[in-house]
Chain A
C-alpha cells in the first residue's frame, strides 16, 4: 500500500498524436467500472453518512435536520463510552496476545526443515475459515452443557462444577481473546515471516561470528530490521480489532450485561435495532475518524525509519 507512485511512468513524447488521445479514452474506459462502483457504493455513502449524522433520521418518516445534536448526544451516551472503552481494551489485549503467539511461531516456521511447511499450514488453517464460522464453532466449545471447556474444567477439578463461561465478563472476554488468537495468529505469523526472510543471513551470520547471543541477535538485528513488517502487522491487527463485531455478536450476544458490546456492535444496534439511523451515522463518523487517525499515525511510523 505504500508504493502508490507509478513506477513505469512517463511514455515517450513522440506518441502524442491521435492514437494517444484514443489511448487516453481507452484507459478511462478500462477504469470506469471500478470508479463507478467506488463512487456509488463508497464515496456517496460516505458523504451521506455525514449528512445523515446531522439529522434525526427514522427508518420511516421524514428526516429532520438537527445540526450537531447527535454529536452532543453521543457525548452523554454512557453505553457509547463503555463500548468504546471496551473496544480499545480488547484491541490492546488481543493485539499483544496475537503478537506473543505469532512472533515465536514465525521464528519457528522460518527454519526450513522437513515437515516445517506442514506445521506452518496447520498453524495457518484457522485463518481461512470465516469469523462467523469460527465464532459458531467456539460458541459450541464454550457452551455450558454441550461444550468442551466447562466440562474439562469441572472434570479436572479446576472448577467445582460446570460453570457457564459466558455468564461472567472476564471468562467471556478471555475466551474470545483465545479464540481470536487461535483464528488470527497464523495470519500474523505469515506477515512476520516475510519480514524475517527479508533479513540477509549474512548479517545474522556475522553477528553470530562476533559472539552475539541469540537473544542479542533478535533484539539488535531481527527486531530493528523488521520494523516495517511489525508496523504493518500492527496496523492490520489494531484496525481489525477496533472493528470487531462477529465474535461478540455470535458468541456473547454483547453480554453479560451489555459489557462486551463493541463500538461496531453499538452502531449496529442503534441503527438497525433501534432504527435511529441519524444517531447511528454520527456514531459511525466518530469511529471512522478514530480509525483514520490510527491508520495515519501507524503509516507514519511505517514510513519514518526513526519512528519506532
Chain B
C-alpha cells in the first residue's frame, strides 16, 4: 500500500517536472513572438516605453499599423511586392522541379547523373559569393531592379532542394502505375499531369512551403538586387525603417511590420506542419 502510494507520488512528481519544463521552455520560445504582436497593438506613445506589461494598458490600438502604412510608397506596395515575389517563386519552383524531378526519376538521357549532381551540388556554393555577378547579369538581361529578376534568382536557389524532393517523390511511385497508363496510349505530359501529379502531391506541397518561406523572408539578395524603393520587399523596407531612413524609429510601427511578416509564415507552418517537417527531415534520414 505504502509502496504504491510512494510510486504514484513519484510518477506525479515526474509528470509535474516534465510538463513544468515543457511549459516554461515553450513559453520562453513563444514570448518574443507574442511580445512583438502585443506591442504592435499599443498606442504609439505606449509602444515607445519598455514593454512591461507586455499587453496594451490603454486599450488596443491600430495606430502603429496606421503609421506603418505611411512609410515610403505605402505598405500595400511593399506587401504586394512581397506577395508577388513569393507567389511567383512558389509557382515557378513547383513547375520547374516537377518537370525536372520527373525527368531525373523516369528517363534515361546522356549525362543524367552528372547533371543531377551538378544541380544538387550548387547547395555547397554559398549564393552570397555570386551576388555581384548576378547583379551584372540581371542588368544585362534588363531584369535588375525587377521582381521578375529576383524571382528567377530565388527559384534557382531553391532548385537543389526542390529537385531533390521531387525526384525522391517520383522514385517512390511504382513504375507499373504509369506503364499501365502509357500502354493505354496516354501522352507523357498527360500521364504526368493526370496520374503522377496526385501521387507526388505531398512532395509538391513541401516544395511550395519551402519556396514560400525562403522567398518571403529572404533579405540579402533583395537588398542588393532591388535598388528602387518602389520595388522593395517587406524585409528590405523594414530594415530601412529600422536603420532610420524614414526618420526616428517608431518601434510600434516596426513591430507591426514584424507581425505582418511573421503572420503568413506561422499560419502556413501551423496548417501544413506535416509537410514542412517532412522536408526538413528528408535530408536527415538519407
Task: Give the B-binding residues of A (Cβ under 8 A).
Answer: 1-8, 11, 20, 23-31, 33-35, 37-38, 40-46, 48-49, 52, 105, 108, 111, 113, 115-116, 118-119, 121-123, 125-126, 128-133, 136-141, 143, 145-148, 150-152, 182, 185-187, 190-191, 194-195, 198, 229, 232, 239, 243, 245-246, 249-250, 253, 264, 267-268, 271-272, 277, 280-281, 284-285, 287-288, 291-292, 295-296
The answer on a CB contact under 8 Å between A27 and B273 is no
Q: Please, which residues of chain B bring their CB within 8 A of the CB of A284? A: 128-132
Given A182-B28, A232-B284, 5 more A-B residue pairs with CB atoms under 8 Å apart are A45-B133, A52-B132, A291-B125, A291-B129, A292-B124
The answer on a CB contact under 8 Å between B32 and A27 is no
Closest to A108 in B: B21
Chain B 85-110 interface mask (CB, 8 Å, partner A; 1/0): 00000000001110110111111111
The answer on a CB contact under 8 Å between B261 and A129 is yes
Decide if B119 is an interface residue (CB 8 Å cutoff).
yes
Q: Please, which residues of chain A bring their CB within 8 A of the CB of B39? A: 140
Q: Please, which residues of chain B bring their CB within 8 A of the CB of A44? A: 133, 137
Q: Per DSSP, are chain A's interface residues mostly helix, strand or loop, or mixed? A: helix
Known: A4-B117, A125-B33, A130-B235. Is A264-B100 also a contact (CB below 8 A)? Answer: no
Shortest distance between the CB of A113 and any CB in chain B (Å):
7
How far is it, in angstroms, between the C-alpha of A23 and the C-alpha of B153 when the chains are bound? Answer: 30
Decide if B61 is an interface residue (CB 8 Å cutoff).
no
Shortest distance between the CB of A60 and any CB in chain B (Å):
12
Known: A45-B137, A122-B29, A138-B32. Is A133-B262 also a contact (CB below 8 A)? Answer: yes
The answer on a CB contact under 8 Å between A115 and B22 is yes
The answer on a CB contact under 8 Å between B33 and A129 is yes
Decide if B41 is an interface residue (CB 8 Å cutoff).
no
How far is it, in angstroms, between the C-alpha of A38 and the C-alpha of B49 when the chains are bound? Answer: 49
How far is it, in angstroms, between the C-alpha of A284 and the C-alpha of B251 when the chains are bound? Answer: 35
How far is it, in angstroms, between the C-alpha of A187 and the C-alpha of B279 when the chains are bound? Answer: 12
Which of the four size classes fits the interface of chain B? 35 or more
Task: Give the A-binding residues of B (Cβ under 8 A).
Answer: 18-19, 21-23, 25-30, 32-33, 35-36, 39, 47-52, 95-97, 99-100, 102-110, 112-113, 115-120, 122-126, 128-137, 152-153, 155-156, 159, 163-164, 171, 175, 188, 213, 216-220, 224, 235, 238-239, 242-243, 249, 251, 254-255, 257-258, 261-262, 265-266, 268-270, 273, 276-277, 280-281, 283-286
- How many A-B residue pairs lie within 8 Å, measured between CB atoms? 289
The answer on a CB contact under 8 Å between A132 and B131 is no
Can you give 29 contacting A-B residue pairs, CB < 8 Å? Answer: A1-B123, A5-B113, A27-B109, A30-B103, A30-B107, A38-B119, A41-B137, A46-B125, A52-B132, A125-B266, A125-B269, A126-B32, A128-B266, A128-B269, A129-B261, A130-B261, A136-B255, A137-B36, A140-B36, A140-B251, A145-B50, A151-B50, A186-B29, A232-B284, A267-B129, A277-B132, A284-B128, A284-B129, A284-B132
Of the residues B50, B100, B284, contact of A30 by C-beta under 8 Å: B100
Q: Please, which residues of chain A bring their CB within 8 A of the CB of B118? A: 38, 43
The answer on a CB contact under 8 Å between A139 and B25 is no
Q: Please, which residues of chain A bring their CB within 8 A of the CB of B257? A: 136
Of the residues A121, A132, A182, contact of B261 by C-beta under 8 Å: A132
Closest to A47 in B: B133
The answer on a CB contact under 8 Å between A190 and B281 is yes
The answer on a CB contact under 8 Å between A45 and B108 is no
Shortest distance between the CB of B187 and any CB in chain A (Å):
10
Closest to A284 in B: B129
The answer on a CB contact under 8 Å between B116 and A4 is yes
Shortest distance between the CB of B285 and any CB in chain A (Å):
6
How far is it, in angstroms, between the C-alpha of A147 and the C-alpha of B262 when the chains are bound? Answer: 19
Known: A41-B152, A140-B251. Is A35-B286 also a contact (CB below 8 A)? Answer: no
Closest to A53 in B: B132
